[in-house]
Structure 1
C-alpha cells in the first residue's frame, strides 16, 4: 500500500508544481516591504547572471553572439535591471505568463540590447 501511495505522490507532484511566471515576478516586485523588494532584485540579478554565464559557456559574451539576449553596461544598477524587467512585463501583458527567467531575458534585451561590432 505504501508503494502505491509513493507512486501516486510522484505522479501528482509535477502536476501541482507551477512555474514562477513573469506575472508572479511582477507581483513580487510591486510589493513595498523590504523582503519582497530584496527578493525581486535578487531574482532578477540571479537570472541575469545565470543567463550571462550560460551564454559565456556556449561562446562568450564579448559582443553580440547567437542567442545573446542582452549586454549590460559595467555600471548598471540593480534598480535599473528591476525597472527594465517590470517595464517589459507591463508593456507585454500577453507574455506575462512566460517563465520569469524568460521575461528577465526579454526585458533586459529590450532595455540593454547588444550593439553589433563594426
Structure 2
C-alpha cells in the first residue's frame, strides 16, 4: 500500500521544477517590506557566494579565469550588489526570464568586471 502511495505521489509531481527567474527576483527586490528586502539581499549575496565558490573550485579567483564573471571589491556593500543586479535586469528585459542566479552573475559581471592581469 505504501509503495503505491509513493508511486502515485511521484507521478503527480510536476515534471519541471519551479524556476526562480530574474523577473521573480526583481519583483521581490522592489517590495519595500523588511522581509522582502532582506530576502532579496540574502538571495543575491548567496548566489554571488555560490558562484564565487564554484569558480574557486574550477581554478581560482585571483584574477580573470575561465568562467569568472565578476570580481567584487573587498569593501562592497550588499545594497551595491542589489542595485547592480536590479539595474542589469531593468536594462536587459529580454533576459529577465533567465534563472535568477544567472542574472546575478550577469549583473555583477557588468557592474564589477574583472581587470585583466598583466
Report the TM range for the smaller structure's normalisation: over 0.9
Superposed CA RMSD:
1.4
Per-residue Cα deviation, 1:74-117 (whole angstroms, up to 9, x for no partner): 11000000000000011111111111000000000010000100
TM-score of the pair, normalised by structure 2: 0.93
| Corresponding residue for residue 89 of structure 1 | 89
| Corresponding residue for residue 48 of structure 1 | 48
Correspondence list, 1:2-21, <5 A: 3-15=3-15, 17-21=17-21
Structure 1: runs of 5 or more not aligned: none
Per-residue Cα deviation, 1:42-68 (whole angstroms, up to 9, x for no partner): 000000000001100110000000000
- 2 CA distance for matches of 1:100 and 1:88? 12
Stretch of structure 1 that moved more, 47-56 or 5-14: 5-14
SS in 1 for 2:13: helix
- 2 CA distance for matches of 1:112 and 1:61? 14
Query: What is the number of equivalent residue pairs in this alignment?
Result: 118
| Corresponding residue for residue 69 of structure 2 | 69
Structure 2: runs of 5 or more not aligned: none
